[in-house]
A and B are shown apart, each in its own frame.
Chain A
């Protein structure tokens, strides 16, 4: 099912006869989409927990979106190379929202993830010097590179990110684990039901009771 179809299904429910009377017709498509995004993020976090528990990181495959030819830029004042993240990934432990940063054509030489405050540790130990890998660390909406191999400068990189729902196109298929598909639906219905009742009188004050 693609993103548009999920939203349409919700809208259909809220406007149809099966919907509780207090909810029927009371929806905003944009609000619905944001709720959907919120619960989608919860699902991704649950997938993460499941992946760690069962050491099955392939569960992330369905949620990863790839971005090609991401440019490498240089911050002259810091003398560091960096890239702007093509999308804001979902925040997961150990920065797992960034699944992979690699050269476009040699994914086996993917860059190693690092922490953004452990340059002292990695600089003192011999790992990076002895093996010569490139690492990256995240700083807000950017990733900075350590010991970037000069052969990559001027070329684009391949990013694989686990992104929130808003980063998907309407026609992109959204993978949601079977057990969670209806749960998301019902969670949105429940949260809509829990909204404070709308004020009936119109006196130019807040619409909430």
Chain B
């Protein structure tokens, strides 16, 4: 068997120390830079940790669900129909409740309770769902509006990728990018290090990120399948 396909943060630290040929005096600092690197890459560049899925019971009284503590941003919000996620519609016009009564959010401007007029759009294309949502990031919650066809909603979201309850595992192909980030950051703010060295380390980091993102491309078969999906059989005329 080959070496493992996923490694932990200690492995990244060992890889960094091996590359720099340093002793253990700065282990804490380097480890934190590695954690910063994993977070940075997971949030902005690579799919290191994958998305997390949460299933919520929608509170039909308030139509509000609380966001998880580790939530950074969502990739989809919807409900499951026949084993597939059907997305809700994002609606930036939903008013955010700003007052509370007996512990429940209430909106001081309730307005009229007109239904969202999706049914009036006969013949309109896709992209509509009977449920609308708006994410209130300031108060870290989602407001749902519309008829609840299912009492549960599913949200897929990404976080920092650093697990605080279990061991953080990193796919092996992303380790060079993580380590390159930590090496670059370890000198970036040191006024004694020449600028060309900083630029070089930044360049190596960018190259590693680019290389790692190549591994996230679909396989050749998947791409061919996507192309074939555009083909259709018909009678030759």
User: In the assembled complex, which residues on chain B have CB atoms less than 8 Å from the CB atom of A112?
Assistant: 24, 27-28, 31
| A65, CB-defined interface residue at 8 Å | no
Do the beta carbons of A113 and B22 come within 8 Å of each other?
no
Chain A 116-140 per-residue mask, 1 if CB under 8 angstroms from chain B, else 0? 0000001001111111010100000
A126 to chain B, nearest CB (A): 6
Interface assignment of A110: CB less than 8 Å from any CB of chain B: yes
What residues of chain B lie closer than 8 Å to A95, measured between beta carbons?
A: 25
- Tell me whether A55 is interfacial, beta carbon within 8 Å: yes
Contact with A along B2-44 (1 / 0, CB 8 A): 0000001110000000001111111110011001000000000
A122 to B163, CA, bound (A): 17
* A94 interface contact, C-beta 8 A: yes
Q: Give the Cβ gap from A124 to chain B, nearest Cβ, in Å.
A: 10
Residues of chain A with a CB closer than 8 A to B31's CB: 112, 127, 131, 133
Known: A127-B35, A130-B162. A114 touches B28 (CB 8 A): yes
Contact B164 A125 (CB under 8 A): no
* Nearest-CB residue, chain B, relative to A56: B21
Q: Main secondary structure on chain B at its contact with chain A?
A: loop
Whether A130 pairs with B28 at a CB distance below 8 angstroms is no
Is the beta-carbon distance between B163 and A100 smaller than 8 angstroms?
A: no
What's the least CB distance linking B162 to chain A, in Å? 5
Among A94, A110, A126, A135: residue with most chain B CB under 10 A:
A126
Q: Does A96 make an interface contact (CB < 8 A)?
A: yes
**Residue B168 lies at the interface, judged by CB distance under 8 Å to chain A:** yes
Q: Let me know if A57 is at the binding interface, CB within 8 A.
A: yes
Contact check, A131 vs B164: say whether CB atoms are below 8 A apart. no
15 A-B pairs with CB atoms under 8 Å apart are A55-B20, A55-B21, A57-B23, A100-B24, A112-B28, A113-B25, A113-B28, A126-B32, A127-B28, A127-B32, A128-B28, A129-B164, A130-B9, A130-B168, A131-B8
Instruction: Tell me the B residues contacting A by CB distance below 8 Å.
Output: 8-10, 20-28, 31-32, 35, 162-164, 168
